[in-house]
Amino acid sequence: MDDAWPRTGARLHHSVGAWPFVINDSSKVVNSEPNRLLELVARGWPMGEAKVVITLEDRGGQCQVTLVEDAIKGPGKLMPKFLRDAMIGVRNRETLRRLELMAAGGAGR
């Protein structure tokens, strides 16, 4: 990630997919409200781009993380929404599961 992460304009460089079909690209922060909201445009060309909104909500000593994503540009946008939602949902559930494990293990302290 860029040194400015997670400020607006910073980029997170990532890989998407499984070998040998790996796409290297980046996500850009378009809105950042510390301890509340992170909005990204995630790139994964040639599939396209997606808007990703991560919200944090204090639940009295616990933090609820919500992750919402949908295609906004490129061939991925042409896929019917119910199919996009199914594919994105699988990946995002795994992302949240990994985040939960990191948080429980004290990552970032």
Residue 96 lies in a domain: yes
Q: SS3 breakdown of the chain: % helix, strand, coil, rounded to 5? A: 25, 40, 35
pTM value is 0.87
Residue 97 lies in a domain: yes
Q: For residue range 32-53, list pLDDT tens digits in order.
A: 999 999 999 999 888 899 999 9
32: containing domain: 11-104
Residue 90 lies in a domain: yes
Q: For residue range 81-101, list pLDDT tens digits in order.
A: 999 999 999 989 999 999 889
Residue 4 lies in a domain: no
What is the count of structural domains for the chain? 1
Residue 55 lies in a domain: yes
Residue 53 lies in a domain: yes
Evaluate whether 40 touches 52 at the Cβ level (below 8 Å): yes
Tokens 């997606």 belong to residue: 50
What pLDDT does 40 receive? 97
Residue 69 lies in a domain: yes
SS3 98: helix
Residue 70 lies in a domain: yes
What pLDDT does 54 receive? 96
